Amino acid sequence: MKTKVIGYWVTTAIIEFELLVGGIADLVHGRSVLVVGPPVVDVLAHLGYPAYLLTILGIWKLLGGIALVVPRFPPLKEWAYAGVFFHMTGAAASWIAIGDNTGEFITPLIFAVFALASWALRPPGRILGILSPVKMRAPDL
């Protein structure tokens, strides 16, 4: 059980870091000392997206990061995990769609896997409902 808790917090910390730092970088359009490589506005332009999308993504990343760590609110956490997964797989699909052979699509897929792992390892208090109900057997008469 302790391994599961450690796994949850490690994967969640990785996702949190990406959401918070990425959200801030998006809001300032990549003019941050933490951003390595070209500003995110240039990356989005390369992918064919408008610069204003960064403001939208930045706000949602910050809100999603907050939702994942605040206590309670399982429905909000489910939406946040879904948003992270859609964002990361969408980013990977965008890189693949433009035909870059640089392997840029690997990083968002790794973050998508971390998001899935965090979601799968979350403690019972952060789960919305029952994931797989136990089937009750009829008593023998």
User: What stretch of H or E contains 90?
Assistant: helix 74-97
Q: 131 in a domain, yes or no?
A: no
Residue 102 in domain: yes
Q: Residue 68's closest CA among 109, 112, 15, 18? A: 15
Going by C-alpha positions, the residue among 9, 131, 56, 92 that lies closest to residue 64 is 56
Please report whether residue 139 resides in a domain.
no
Listed in sequence order, the DSSP H helices in the chain are 2-27, 40-47, 53-69, 74-97, 106-121
Name every residue whose Cβ is closer than 8 Å to that of residue 48 and which is 6 or more positions away in sequence: 94, 98
Report yes or no on 136 lying in a domain: no
- Within-domain flag for 87: yes
76 in any annotated domain: yes
3-state secondary structure (DSSP) of residue 26: helix
Does residue 67 lie in a domain region?
Answer: yes
Greatest pairwise CA separation for the chain in angstroms: 72
Residue-by-residue pLDDT tens, the chain, 141 positions: 789 989 999 999 999 999 999 999 888 886 655 556 678 888 889 999 999 999 999 999 999 999 998 888 888 989 999 999 999 999 999 999 998 777 889 999 999 999 999 999 988 766 776 555 555 566 665
Distance separating alpha carbons of residues 75 and 17, to the nearest angstrom: 22
Domain that holds residue 18: 2-121
CB atoms within 10 A of CB 8: 18
The answer to whether position 50 is within a domain reads: yes
User: pTM here?
Assistant: 0.81
Please tell me the total count of domains within the chain. 1
In whole angstroms, give the CA distance from residue 138 to residue 141.
Answer: 9
Note whether 38 and 30 are within 8 A (CB).
yes
